[in-house]
Homo-oligomer: A and B are copies of this chain.
Amino acid sequence: MTPMEMLEAVRDGRLSPEEAERMLRTKPFVDLGFAKVDTHRAIRSGSPEVIYGAGKTPEQSVKIAGTLLDNGAGCAMITRCSPGTWELVHSTFDDAVYHEKANIIVIGRPPEPSPNSSVCVVTAGTSDIPVAEEAAVTAETLGSRVDRIYDGGVAGIHRLLANMEPLSRARAVVAVAGMEGALPSVVGGLVNVPVIAVPTSVGYGASFEGVAALLAMMNSCSSDVSVVNIDNGFGAGYIASMIDRRTAPL
């Protein structure tokens, strides 16, 4: 119900102003005390709902997941699960799956990807894989098909050039790199779709836990690169899938 629809309902007597005001106040979310769970979004978007598990107890994550599923969400995912979350989820919900490398729990059945769906997740090195998996599983859970190219760093550019096929098919690319963070610039020059760059905290010394990679990516000479927070595989997968699922054949 949009504000205009609500106002018309009030005018027509179908809705009292008191109810309208209460709706504005109480409907969009369920207040669990420690969290205000946005249940309208679940109904409205039809997409799987996301719970950021870091800093939440297993009980809190499970309670929010239950609230979402009870209010119409068909699927919920918990990212960055704190220890013990999988055990509690597993014993509470029947249809949950734990993606260990990504540290993501999915409860319920994610949507099927469309035929031409294609997100490509590339990493510079082996140590970037956990962040890349967070991106890949997120995109898959949201309804995208995902190709993975791991350890394709720019110091051996032939490793990347040998994997042009999934890159050129992708509708959105997630490029994950720590250390000097050069991968998104090179990838951005090879493809013609949005590249979501994820700096990782992989490195030591003057990598400053991902700052060097972050700055490199912010300054990318490729016009199609935008950046998310250090180690934020989830955000990159979320945006890449959002783009992928809406892309029309050119």
Contacts and interface: CB of A to CB of B under 8 A. Distances in A.
Interface stretch (A30-38, A68-76, A86-94, A102-110): A30-38
Interface residues of A, number: 105
B218 A205 contact: yes
A236 B226 CA distance: 8
B29 A3 contact: no
A130 B167 CA distance: 35
Interface in A1-41: 3-4, 7-8, 10-11, 13, 16-17, 20-21, 24-26, 28-29, 33-36, 38
A55 B202 contact: yes
Contacts of A26: 162
Contact of A210 (B17, B205, B225, B235): B205
Nearest to A190: B157
A139 interface: no
A194 interface: yes
Interface in A151-189: 151-159, 161-163, 171, 178-182, 185-186, 188-189
A201 B193 contact: no
Interface of A: 3-4, 7-8, 10-11, 13, 16-17, 20-21, 24-26, 28-29, 33-36, 38, 45, 50, 54-56, 60, 124-127, 129, 150-159, 161-163, 171, 178-182, 185-186, 188-190, 192-194, 196, 199, 201-232, 234-236, 238-239, 242-243, 246-250
26 contacts: A3-B21, A11-B13, A36-B152, A36-B159, A55-B126, A124-B221, A154-B182, A154-B221, A179-B220, A179-B221, A180-B181, A182-B186, A193-B246, A196-B226, A205-B209, A205-B214, A206-B210, A206-B211, A206-B215, A212-B212, A215-B215, A223-B234, A223-B238, A223-B239, A226-B239, A227-B228
